[in-house]
Amino acid sequence: MSHFEPNDYIRFDLLEKNINIVRKRLNRPLTLSEKIVYGHLDDPANQEIERGKTYLRLRPDRVAVPSTIHCDHLIEAQLGGEKDLRRAKDINQEVYNFLATAGAKYGVGFWRPGSGIIHQIILENYAYPGVLLIGTDSHTPNGGGLGGICIGVGGADAVDVMAGIPWELKCPKVIGVKLTGSLSGWTSPKDVILKVAGILTVKGGTGAIVEYHGPGIDSISCTGMATICNMGAEIGATTSVFPYNHRMKKYLNKTGRADIAILADEFKDHLVPDPGCHYDQLIEINLSELKPHINGPFTPDLAHPVAEVGTVAEKEGWPVDIRVGLIGSCTNSSYEDMGRSAAVAKQALAHGLKCKSQFTITPGSEQIRATIERDGYAQILRDVGGIVLANACGPCIGQWDRKDIKKGEKNTIVTSYNRNFTGRNDANPETHAFVTSPEIVTALAIAGTLKFNPETDFLTGKDGKKFKLEAPDVDELPRAEFDPGQDTYQHPPKDSSGQRVDVSPTSQRLQLLEPFDKWDGKDLEDLQILIKVKGKCTTDHISAAGPWLKFRGHLDNISNNLLIGAINIENGKANSVRNAVTQEFGPVPDTARYYKKNGIRWVVIGDENYGEGSSREHAALEPRHLGGRAIITKSFARIHETNLKKQGLLPLTFADPADYNKIHPVDKLTIQGLKDFAPGKPLKCIIKHPNGTQETILLNHTFNETQIEWFRAGSALNRMKELQQ
What are the catalytic residues? 72-73, 137, 419, 614, 616
Q: Are strands 602-605 and 585-586 parallel, antiparallel or unpaired?
A: unpaired
Alpha carbons within 13 angstroms on the beta-carbon side of residue 713 total 19
Q: Which of 718, 716, 722 is nearest to 703 (CA)?
A: 716
Q: Say if CB 548 and CB 561 are below 8 A apart.
A: yes
Q: Where are the beta strands (DSSP E) in 540-692?
A: 577-578, 585-586, 602-605, 628-633, 650-654, 668-672, 683-688
C-alpha span between 524 and 360 (Å, rounded) = 51
Those residues whose C-beta lies under 8 Å from the C-beta of residue 602, and which sit 6 or more positions away, are: 527, 528, 529, 530, 592, 595, 627, 628, 629
Neighbouring C-beta atoms of residue 512, cutoff 10 Å? 11
Q: Say if CB 174 and CB 34 are below 8 A apart.
A: yes
Q: Which of 235, 367, 385 is nearest to 322 (CA)?
A: 385
Query: What is each CA distance from 58 to 165, 337, 435, in whole angstroms?
Result: 9, 35, 35
Query: What is each CA distance from 313 to 457, 509, 705, in whole angstroms?
Result: 17, 42, 50
For residue 550, the 8-state DSSP code is G
Would the CA dihedral through 129, 130, 135, 137 be positive or negative?
positive
Those residues whose C-beta lies under 8 Å from the C-beta of residue 273, and which sit 6 or more positions away, are: 29, 30, 31, 32, 35, 211, 213, 243
Q: Which of 424, 220, 443 is nearest to 334 (CA)?
A: 220
Q: Which of 621, 631, 673 is nearest to 653 (CA)?
A: 631
First-last CA distance in the chain: 44
Backbone torsion region of residue 32, taken as left when φ is above 0, otherwise alpha when ψ lies between -120 and 50, otherwise beta:
alpha
Q: What angle do CA 118, 510, 158 make, to 5 degrees?
A: 40
C-alpha span between 459 and 466 (Å, rounded) = 5
Neighbouring C-beta atoms of residue 487, cutoff 10 Å? 11
CA dihedral 241, 70, 395, 644 (to 10 degrees): 70
Q: What angle do CA 608, 614, 620 make, to 5 degrees?
A: 75
Helix ranges, 351-473 (H): 366-374, 377-383, 438-447
Neighbouring C-beta atoms of residue 557, cutoff 10 Å? 17
Query: What is each CA distance from 386 to 81, 342, 360, 398, 403, in whole angstroms?
Result: 12, 11, 5, 19, 16
3-class secondary-structure state, position 94: helix
Alpha carbons within 13 angstroms on the beta-carbon side of residue 175 total 23
Exposed / middle / buried, residue 666 (Cβ in 10 Å: 0-12, 13-18, 19+): middle
DSSP string, 259-304: HHHHHHHHTGGGGSPPTT---SEEEEEETTT---EEE-SSSTT-EE
3-class secondary-structure state, position 252: helix
